[in-house]
Amino acid sequence: MDLPIFHLDWLNNRFLIGIIAVLHVFINHPLAVGGIAFVSTLEWWGRRTGDARWDKLAYRIMTTFFVITTTIGAMTGVGIWFSAGLVNPIAIGSLIRVFYWGWFTEWIVFVTEVVLILIYYLTWKSWTAQGDAKKRSHIRLGFGLAAASWLTMVLIVAILGFMMDTGTWLRDKSFFSAFLNPAYLPQLSFRTPVAMMMAGGAGLFLVVFFTRGDREFRMKAVRAIALWQLCWSPFAFLGATWYANIIPSTMIANLSVANTTQHFAEWFSIVKQLVLYVTLGGMVLAAWAVIRPQWYPRAMYFVPFIGFLFLLGHFERVREFIRKPFAIGNYLYSNGIRAQDYPLLQKEGMLKHLTYISAREITPENQVRVGKELFMAACSRCHTINGINNISSNLEAMYGKSKTWETDVVANYFVAMHKTRTFMPPFPGNDDERKAIASYLVWLQTNRDEAEPAQSSGVTIPKTEQQPGMAQQR
């Protein structure tokens, strides 16, 4: 919180990270982590059966995976940390300190993966032409690359798990208890088979384009891919069960809002059923393709992949939401304030401790302006002024549009906001600051305002604290 505030008012900061992260996962799971293992297996199968059509299919699928993963895939991967670093620098800073060597290793593994993927793809044709021994080396290289791609997941999932549940790290602060947090292995054992199954879904999607004019081979390919998916499905089921069982109960309480939004929370059961039907539907389709590939309808080549995207996107959204109000479980709230700093801030007030604020005292004249700055510090990681999840519409939903909102009523709401809405952090300031934010929000009912984020308006600090000769930045 105590850094200049980057803020996208129209889109909402969480949305920015969400879009980039979900796009990345859509590419990374099916096309990289699962994709390379899938393509190497196809290549291996081609050599084993001596049917060159497998090799050709594998190569064409690899071409697609290669182009997408090395462009949008790599960029969105970096983009996640870049956007998260802008939106919640304190959270990313904490994660870097805790996972320093993990991240360092990740960097090496990632570079290895990129180098190997280049070699694997670019040598495919020439090594294949050089005879069987070279082909075998190429297949081995493929499996090596698959291992490296999976290792990136092994490392990153540790960080994702840690953000949900910090486990014993809060007590011992050791790297290994952070790494082996309670959510880690369950999540990894869920994501791995899901990535493999998704790779099959992407493969099935591409088979339509890459087996034109050879119906006999298409049937073989469809059956093989569906078999691949079915083989991974029990592992996905076990992983999902394990993962569902370790989610802390406080997070389960957020599920209904996490699945949709508060407004649509009553749809929760429909969404739950949808998830179930899509999963079952996928299994039925795969079984159909194995038993009767010749009757497998053409439209169904695309449906499983789209179904997988729906499920995975949903999974990521829910995972991101249920850990609220924390960015890092029980340690750091989503607003960038450490849980352990709360007692001090609530007693002495945020104004005393924030650097980027224009005043240290609240007066009747500056109340609305300071209220806005406090709102930006305490609420803007999740709320906007005019955009998605904007605070005026939240208040309208509670107090009505036509009725005049009252400062005291709004200020009182903040006292227990974290109890009625368990996904919100407790109010981090003192009583005067509650009233200042409330007076700003009430002022918003009759006035229009714009956010003034640091990236466009610069920062303000109280005059008394400026270095001599240093002009105030605006």
Residue 195 CB coordination number (10 Å) = 27
Return the residue of 250, 394, 412, 445 that touches ligand HEC, per CB under 6 A: 394
Binding residues for ligand HEC, total number by CB under 6 A: 26
Establish if 379 lies at the interface with ligand HEC (CB under 6 A): yes
Query: Rounded to the nearest whole angstrom, what is the least distance from the CB of residue 420 to ligand HEC in the complex?
Result: 6
Of 89 and 281, which has the nearer Cβ to ligand HEC? Answer: 89
Query: Rounded to the nearest whole angstrom, what is the least distance from the CB of residue 364 to ligand HEC in the complex?
Result: 21
Binding segment for ligand HEC (CB under 6 A), chosen from 137-145, 211-219, 231-239, 375-383, is 375-383
Return the residue of 421, 449, 459, 461 that touches ligand HEC, per CB under 6 A: 421
Establish if 335 lies at the interface with ligand HEC (CB under 6 A): yes
Binding segment for ligand HEC (CB under 6 A), chosen from 52-60, 165-173, 287-295, 382-390, is 382-390
Query: Rounded to the nearest whole angstrom, what is the least distance from the CB of residue 395 to ligand HEC in the complex?
Result: 5
Return the residue of 385, 395, 442, 451 that touches ligand HEC, per CB under 6 A: 395
- Report which of 229, 225, 195 is spatially closest to residue 210, judged by C-alpha positions: 225
| Per-residue exposure over 8-18, b if at least 16 CB sit within 10 Å of its own CB, e if not | bbeebbbebbb
Query: Rounded to the nearest whole angstrom, what is the least distance from the CB of residue 7 to ligand HEC in the complex?
Result: 13
Return the residue of 30, 425, 433, 452 that touches ligand HEC, per CB under 6 A: 425
Establish if 262 lies at the interface with ligand HEC (CB under 6 A): yes
Q: How far is CA 442 from CA 378, 391, 415, in A?
A: 17, 11, 17
Considering only residues 306-325, where is the footprint of ligand HEC by CB under 6 A? 324-325
Establish if 191 lies at the interface with ligand HEC (CB under 6 A): no
Q: How far is CA 60 from CA 54, 65, 229, 231, 317, in A?
A: 10, 9, 20, 23, 32
Query: Rounded to the nearest whole angstrom, what is the least distance from the CB of residue 398 to ligand HEC in the complex?
Result: 5
Distance CA 134, CA 90 (A): 50
Residue 242 CB coordination number (10 Å) = 14
Binding residues vs ligand HEC (CB under 6 A): 257, 261-263, 324-325, 334-335, 378-379, 381-383, 389, 391, 394-395, 397-398, 414, 421, 423-425, 427, 437
